[in-house]
Every structure is written in C-alpha cells, then in structure tokens.
Amino acid sequence: MKHTIYRCTACSRQRLPFPLRRALSTAITPNTPSNPNKVPLHDLTPADISYYWDTQVPNETDLTYADKFFAPSRHSPIKIWSASKFRTTPMSSVEPEVAFLGRSNVGKSSLLNAIMGKEICWTSSKPGRTREMNAFGIGGTKGGESKIVLLDMPGYGKASRTEWGIEIMKYLQGRKQ
C-alpha cells in the first residue's frame, strides 16, 4: 500500500494524510469492588433510611401534638385566599407557608384534603382542575390566626397553562419567607 506524503510548510515536517497508528484494545470485565458495608434493603429500618437534620425522630408526644394540630375544628382549616396572579396575593404573612407543587392530576388537592381532614380543596379526575393558587390556614385558634398556611398550586404538564407556571415562579421568587 502506497501512501502520499505531504510536507507541512509551517514546520517543514513530512506528514501523512491520516495517522497510521494501529488501534489495539482488549476488553476485560472491570473488577467491581465489593462493598462490605452494603446492607440489603429488606434489612433496613425506617430510622436507617430517614434522615432528620434538625430534630430527632418524633416520639409519641410529638405525634399526638401533630394529630391535634392538623385536626379539623371550627377555626381550622379555613380558606385564606385565592389568586390567579402573584400581584393579587396578600402581602407575606408571618405564618410559615408550605406550597404543594407537582404535575397535573397527581393528587395535590386530594393530599391536602387528607392532611387537613376536611374536603376543602376542589378535586377532579380530570387534570387542570386547580386553576389558581389557593391558601388554607390550619392550626387556627378563635382569634382567626393560623399556625401554618398550606398552598394548593396548579399543576404543570397536561391541561396546564403557561401563565400558571409564570405566576407560580413569581410567587416562589417574590414571596418573603
């Protein structure tokens, strides 16, 4: 086989039009080191797979308090506000707010109904039922103030609108918490 040799004028060296190196490879199966610390999934307990950053695992007293906190009463849960545009939302509240975000028709409103123990959020088997941001106060007292605010947000994906996503992002970025 005859190869044409070219002369590089910049460096005055002879070059071939393509490299003549032979590519050699040997396929071997890589050794995967066994992990002696690996525990089978069926041997794990909830404490092994749960990680609490600031608190300990809840005890019976904590769980009883949470049951009372989320239990429906005459003063809780209540619908605080609804808004389709961020500019129409009330000013930031002193209560912590928890927003429930997710794809359309995954059960955000149903989950909130289960948490609050009352059918207060509208639900549907068809996607796109929640069309605005809805805030609900829970843990309220006779004075009307809530201890926490839960937000039901419109879903993204099927049957959603672009402007819903824009308004939700404005809410998440502009809310002072």
Mean pLDDT of all residues in 62-90:
78
Q: Which long-range contacts (CB under 8 A, 24 or more apart) does 94-97 make?
A: 95/137, 95/145, 95/146, 95/147, 95/148, 95/149, 96/148, 96/149, 96/177, 97/135, 97/148, 97/149, 97/150, 97/151, 97/175, 97/177
| Closest to 80 (Cα-Cα) out of 120, 113, 129, 119 | 120
Residue 171, phi then psi, degrees to nearest 5 = -60, -50
Q: What is the pLDDT of residue 60?
A: 92
Q: What is the mean pLDDT of the chain?
A: 73
CATH number, domain of 130, equals 3.40.50.300
Please determine, for residue 53, whether its predicted confidence score (pLDDT) is greater than 70: no
| Closest to 106 (Cα-Cα) out of 120, 126, 122, 121 | 126
Q: What is the pLDDT of residue 26?
A: 58
Mean pLDDT of all residues in 108-114:
89
Q: Rounded distance, CA 164 to CA 155, Å?
A: 8
Residue 167 lies in a domain: yes
Q: Is the sign of the CA dihedral 141, 143, 147, 153 positive or negative?
A: positive
Q: What is the DSSP string of 88-111?
A: GSPPPPSS-EEEE--BTTSSHHHH
Global pTM reads 0.56
Q: How many domains does the chain have?
A: 1
Residue 66 lies in a domain: no
Residue 107 lies in a domain: yes
Residue 24 lies in a domain: no
Residue 92 lies in a domain: yes
Residue-number span of the structural domain to which 164 is assigned = 74-174
Please determine, for residue 37, whether its predicted confidence score (pLDDT) is greater than 60: yes
Mean pLDDT of all residues in 99-108:
85
